[in-house]
Amino acid sequence: MLRTASRGRVLSVAASAALLLPLLSGAPPAGADVPVADSLQRQFAAAAERHGVPESVLLAVSYLQSRWDGHAGAPSVTGGYGPMHLTDTATALARSVPHHSEDGEDARGDDSRPARTGAGAGAAVDLPAPEELPARLRTLERASSLSGIPAEELRSSTAANIEGGAALLAAAQREAGRAPSADPADWYGAVARYSGADDTATAAAYADDVFDVIRTGEARVTDSGQRVALPAAPAVAPDTGQVAGLGLRAPARGPVECPTTVACEWIPAPYEEFGDGDYGNHDKADRPVSQKIDYIVVHDTEATWDVTLKLVQDPTYVSWQYSLRSSDGHVAQHLPLKDVGWHAGNWYVNAKSVGLEHEGFLTAPDSWYTEAMYRSSARLVRYLAKRYDIPLDRQHVIGHDNVPGTVTSSIRGMHTDPGPYWDWAHYFRLLGRPLTPGAGPRAGVVTIRPEYGGNRPVYTGCATAGEACAPHGSGAVRLHTAPSADAPLVKDIGLRPGGQDSTTGVNDTGARATTGQSYAVAERRGDWTAIWYLGQKAWFHNPAAEPTAVGARGLVLTPREGLTEVPVYGRAYPEASAYPAGVPVQAVSPLPYRLLAGQTYVVGHKTPGEYYYAPVFDSTNHRVVRGQEEYYQIQFGHRIAFVKAADVRVSQG
């Protein structure tokens, strides 16, 4: 999630083309017109036949955009509606401020720099007029013109939406000078144009994904209960050269560090000095020679693509390594991977991570991410994990909402994206690491894994404080003080030092466990399971018939013999004796939590205490301080944490 660096300047992001969703709440649910279990499949077949589009092409394009879901008539993060993701962004325009823009926050997360007052500056961003939006954000308007179906019907009716998408594909085939064909291989250029991309690499990457779906096949039950299947056709071999005739610009790849399977361009973040010791918006480094990269941090932008790019190029803003576009999965790289971005709010994590910002909005539960962006992100993460030997698990591929506060005073300011609506289970399937059981149902460790679509806990505060958010699938489960849905939620004394209960707020992580996170089991009673969480026993509903967690294996730790409790830290910094002359000693300050005797927590990895000293613009004297003190990373609450290795005993869970 984007956040300003502290600079002593006033944020001037006056307005952005952000899509605050949900929208058109009075629209009929897309899917209300599909009462029979196979009617959606028949609608695809009928639309394909009427417009002369191969059914497999129509189905595969829709799968890549929406996985055939209607999303109850709600738009995506880029204003796309229905199974065909017809974009009507003008309807969705609203004003918002990107979320690295909160006053006084420091996404760098390093208290070795002088404290600053106020928030970072940002260039003013004007709200575009609807007619100024690119064609990729106005496809519903064109579908209406081609099909004769009113725009409102294209937004709210599943059948109409599919019809409009088929009309767009047929038009793209005509405009490419190609006749309608029953052979899917003849439609590569039309599919590439459907992406809305303005460069050949992104259009080709999108088309490649569509034809990969055609070759491998897909089948699933949609969010409206419809069964849809696309049989595999492994022999389909499209003419990929068709993309060259679309008149798109050549990609400006530059010095990108991306896999060849994604479309990636270089849009650099600036490294500039302002005077008086102030500079931005990142730090030079020499990773992984200087420090190992241990984490990939998943963010959402809380801003549209164009606004996101303007902000990351603003020297008074902050930085991250990659941005990903929702509509087609296009990737922009902003920093060399060897350098350190300012994105996580925790300097230890920043120095050892790569940050990925995904175009999206946390508090818009009826919004949705496209399959194109999920797939592009997964390919990028697999590339990074292989390059830096990062384990593909939830201890190392973390959300911004899993990053701990550095010290007690910073806990309440830590961010909560990508939030409870990010589909971690689907993401890890795309990463090639599906979250399957690693042990039996009575194992001493569990991995959270509810069924995303059917798991719909009530959240509040998406649009108005205290008001319920629209129902939506979620990868998170609620944690209670006793095995009952009526029991209070567990407390987070870091978020609420006064001891108040956690809430159902969409941004309240105090009583939340999320898909892929693993915890040590404390107790079981009937359909309820208790885990050790933030120094207490936390219960969640886990019935055998519809489990929300699976058995797992892993290392766990507990206080060593003779200790009744051990401190917990938000960063793994070296002992004081490790610092050389000229490098200020950084405090090893515990958080307000305690890990108590008799409690166990799942281990992520072991690491020496490290601190990257880089408080000034000139990188000549930047130093990595590495101590003898070692730490274990643990899954302590919703966020990770660290404990000293000398304080604990490790065993197999």
- Cβ–Cβ under 8 Å, residues 515 and 506: no
Tell which residue, 219, 216, 213, 223, has the closest CA to residue 451: 223
Q: Which of 433, 390, 301, 412 is nearest to 639 (CA)?
A: 412
**Token pair for 34:** 């599909």
Total length of the chain: 653
pLDDT tens-digit map of 558-580: 999 999 999 999 999 999 999 99
Helix (H) or strand (E) holding 648: strand 648-652
Mean pLDDT of 344-355: 97
Q: What is the mean predicted confidence (pLDDT) over 112-123?
A: 49
CB 112 within 8 Å of CB 586:
yes
Per-residue pLDDT tens digits for 501-559: 999 999 999 999 999 999 999 999 999 999 999 999 999 999 999 999 999 999 999 99
CA distances from residue 337 to 294, 348, 397, 615 in whole angstroms, order as listed: 13, 16, 16, 19
Per-residue model confidence (pLDDT) at position 119: 38
How much is the pLDDT for 34? Answer: 47
Residue 26: predicted pLDDT = 30
Give me 20's structure tokens: 């605050």
Angle CA(388)–CA(392)–CA(394) in degrees, nearest 5? 120
Q: Whole-model pTM?
A: 0.91
Give mean pLDDT, residues 261-284.
90
Which tops the pLDDT comparison, 82 or 275?
A: 82
Distances (CA, A) of 548 to 95, 394, 435, 527, 568: 37, 16, 12, 10, 28
**Cβ-contact 567, 643 below 8 angstroms:** yes
Q: What is the percentage of the chain residues whose pLDDT exceeds 90? A: 75
Q: Return d(Cα 457, Cα 65) in angstroms, integer.
A: 25
Please give the residue that has the higher pLDDT: either 302 or 512: 512
pLDDT of residue 21: 31
Minimal CA–CA distance to 343: which of 361, 364, 322, 326?
A: 322
Handedness of CA 172, 178, 180, 186 (dihedral sign): negative
Give every CB contact of residue 173 below 8 A, 6+ residues apart in sequence.
Answer: 53, 179, 180, 181, 187, 189, 190
Fold (CATH) for 39-95+129-246: Lysozyme (1.10.530)
What does the pLDDT read at residue 1? 57
Q: Report the percentage of the chain scoring pLDDT > 70.
A: 89
**pLDDT for 86:** 95
Q: What is the Cα–Cα distance from 646 to 609, expressed in whole angstroms?
A: 12
Query: What are the tokens at 531?
Result: 């885990």
Residues 455-479: what's their mean pLDDT? 91
Provide mean pLDDT across the span 327-348.
95
Pick the range with the lowest mean pLDDT from 167-176, 251-260, 537-546.
Answer: 251-260
Confidence grade of residue 304 (pLDDT, cut at 50, 70, 90): confident
Q: To which residue do tokens 């309440």 refer?
A: 412
What is the tens place of the pLDDT at every residue in 38-61? 899 999 999 999 999 999 999 999
**Contact, 549 vs 539, CB < 8 A?**
no
Q: How far does CA 632 lie from the centroid of its chain?
A: 25
Separation between Cα atoms, residue 280 and residue 121, nearest integer Å: 11
Residue type, 350: N
Q: First CA to last CA across the chain, in angstroms? A: 34
Contact status, residue 252 vs residue 265, Cβ threshold 8 Å: yes
Tell me what the pLDDT averaged over the chain comes to: 89
CB contact at 8 A, 529 and 539: yes
Tens-place pLDDT, residues 432-448: 999 999 999 999 999 99
Specify the pLDDT at position 366: 64
User: How sure is the predictor about 268, in pLDDT bands with cuts at 50, 70 and 90?
Assistant: very high
- Provide mean pLDDT across the span 227-241: 96
Map out the domains of the chain as residue ranges: 39-95+129-246, 557-652
Residue 413 Ramachandran class (φ > 0 left, ψ -120 to 50 alpha, else beta): alpha
State the pLDDT at residue 104.
53
pLDDT digits (tens, 9 = 90+) for 606-637: 999 999 999 999 999 999 999 999 999 999 99
Read off the tokens for 600: 């166990």
Backbone torsions φ then ψ of 402, nearest 5 degrees:
-100, -5
What pLDDT, on a 0 to 100 scale, did the predictor assign at position 442?
A: 93
Comparing 277-286, 306-315, 366-375, the range with the smallest average pLDDT is 366-375
Helices (H) and strands (E) in the chain, counts: 12, 28
More confidently predicted of 198 and 488: 488
E-assigned strand segments in 245-304? 264-266, 272-275, 278-280, 282-283, 295-300
- The C-alpha angle with vertex 593 and arms to 588 and 597, in degrees rounded to 5, equals 105
What is the H or E stretch that residue 607 is in? strand 601-613
pLDDT (tens digit per residue) in 409-434: 999 999 999 999 999 999 999 999 99
- Give the relative orientation of helices 55-66 and 158-175 as an angle to the nearest 10 degrees: 110
Q: What is the pLDDT of residue 637?
A: 98
pLDDT digits (tens, 9 = 90+) for 213-227: 999 999 999 988 899
Least confident window among 4-8, 32-36, 71-75, 313-317: 4-8
- Read off the tokens for 473: 């699938």
* Contacts of 268 by beta carbon, 8 Å cutoff, 6+ apart: 254, 313, 334, 335
DSSP state of 133: S
Per the CB < 8 A criterion, the answer to whether 529 and 446 are in contact is yes
pLDDT classification of 20: cutoffs 50, 70, 90: very low
pLDDT at 585: 95
| AA letter at 120 | G
The tally of CA atoms less than 13 A away on the side-chain side of residue 268 is 9
**192-213: average pLDDT:** 94
* 51, 170 contact by CB (below 8 A): yes
Q: In whole angstroms, what is the distance from residue 592 CA to residue 625 CA?
A: 26
